Structure 1
């Protein structure tokens, strides 16, 4: 699939994916969403040697400033539900991706942009970043998981305040409330993101994928997270990676994981 709204740059096994609609503040239109679906479902899983993905936005103002509201004007109740379900499915692809996905938030992350950042496994922001779910200003609610993930990260009290008032969080406040892993100037933020991906890539690939599964299970109402952990632990003990990791530990050397 040729990408027009995504720029893909591969560097040492790390894919930097830039949402590229700077004149529209990288708003998520249907084409961008389709490209994100294809990238995480079809493209990235087939790339050999992939260590992880860094998502960021083009330009100096926004990561993603929201959805493309013009496309909402043709919606009715059923079409609205279909759009929300499709959007959630795409963000689940990101959340469940077996390699680390880091959002590098370099400006406004509002509405769908905040939801996209929250679907990533880790989040690093520049000091100019702003986070919020302003949908109630339009007579809407978040549709791509915002009402659920914001509570998961911030807790019910603060999340309810932000969802009902449409207020924004500064980068420092987002860090203080646990939404972010770090706040750094742009160049340093990208370097940290790359270092984090590289650090995770040095671990057992199967173990990383199973850890992501177990973490996600905590928030799934129909899944027992403890049972998921038991199953995943058992699966990892039967891998060649575990035998290599254990041998390397005993022999006091760096493990050579094969993802098997």
Structure 2
């Protein structure tokens, strides 16, 4: 596929997706559509084990493309279409069965923060700015921000950050529980790659994908349903070649040679 808003780099079994929409990597309708296509391709690539999402230049994503809002004023159906597309890409990233790491290199605002919150793990540089300023436009976060922020942090923190439009730097975002790690700019991608490898190296993708599914889906369903999903996935793994290999390798005190089947 031709790409106008993203760069894709494959290193071994890790994909690095870089949003590149100058000057501020805003999420226009076309950019969102391209991102959805990119992640669809990555989801279907059995050779890839993990994904890193970052931004080009000084921005991760500065937000949605506000210029597109002008045409939607007075037309709630156009507003609904924007919200639906934004929620779709965030839902699709969150539902990825391969670990997705957000490497936040700069401003991460509005739709950009909502995109980052849909990733499974988040690291940022100290100088990053994270926030949801939509109320200053007379709007609300609509790519999932009102829902994911409270789930990741707390209801009180979500209310504070959304109602005040406060922006957090990397260290403040870590303290709030919004990101997991703060690093220097030169260490951002190397650290993201190290974390990605720690997630997948020496493990079977048959168990990784099921673990991610159980955690992500379980966060959005009842404990009873989550436990049912967990035990069913556990049972199904006993039918896989990798479980047989992993158990025998442990007993034989050797490293497993997983085939991811």
221-230 or 64-73, which deviates more = 221-230
Deviation at residue 256 of structure 1 after TM alignment: 1.5
Give the number of equivalent residue pairs.
257
Q: Map 1:28-177 onto structure 2 (within 5 A).
A: 28-41=27-40, 43-60=41-58, 62-75=59-72, 76-177=75-176
Q: Which runs of 5+ in 2 are unaligned?
A: none
Instruction: Give, in whole Å, the separation in 2 of the partners of 1:49 and 1:257.
Output: 13
Q: Map 1:183-202 onto structure 2 (within 5 A).
A: 183-202=182-201
C-alpha RMSD over aligned residues: 1.4
1:68 match: secondary structure: coil
1:109-133 deviations in Å (ceiling 9; x for gaps): 1000000000011111111111111
Work out whether residues 112 and 144 of structure 1, in 8 Å CA contact, stay in contact via their aligned partners in 2.
Answer: yes
Counterpart of 2:247?
Answer: 246
1:183 match: secondary structure: strand
151-160 or 199-208, which deviates more = 199-208
Instruction: Give, in whole Å, the separation in 2 of the partners of 1:44 and 1:181.
Output: 24
157-166 or 198-207, which deviates more = 198-207
Under a length normalisation based on structure 2, what TM-score does the superposition of the two structures give? 0.94
2:16 match: secondary structure: strand
119-128 or 219-228, which deviates more = 219-228
Work out whether residues 29 and 82 of structure 2, in 8 Å CA contact, stay in contact via their aligned partners in 1.
Answer: no
Work out whether residues 15 and 48 of structure 2, in 8 Å CA contact, stay in contact via their aligned partners in 1.
Answer: yes
Query: Are 1:210 and 2:210 counterparts?
Result: yes
Deviation at residue 179 of structure 1 after TM alignment: 1.5
Deviation at residue 82 of structure 1 after TM alignment: 2.2
1:39-58 deviations in Å (ceiling 9; x for gaps): 111x2133342121111111
Instruction: Give, in whole Å, the separation in 2 of the partners of 1:26 and 1:201.
Output: 29
1:14-54 deviations in Å (ceiling 9; x for gaps): 1111100231x10100111011110111x213334212111
1:43-84 deviations in Å (ceiling 9; x for gaps): 213334212111111112x10010001111122212212221
Instruction: Give, in whole Å, the separation in 2 of the partners of 1:93 and 1:162.
Output: 25
247-256 or 164-173, which deviates more = 247-256
Under a length normalisation based on structure 1, what TM-score does the superposition of the two structures give? 0.94
Counterpart of 2:12?
Answer: 12
Deviation at residue 178 of structure 1 after TM alignment: 1.5
Q: Map 1:216-255 onto structure 2 (within 5 A).
A: 216-221=216-221, 224-255=225-256
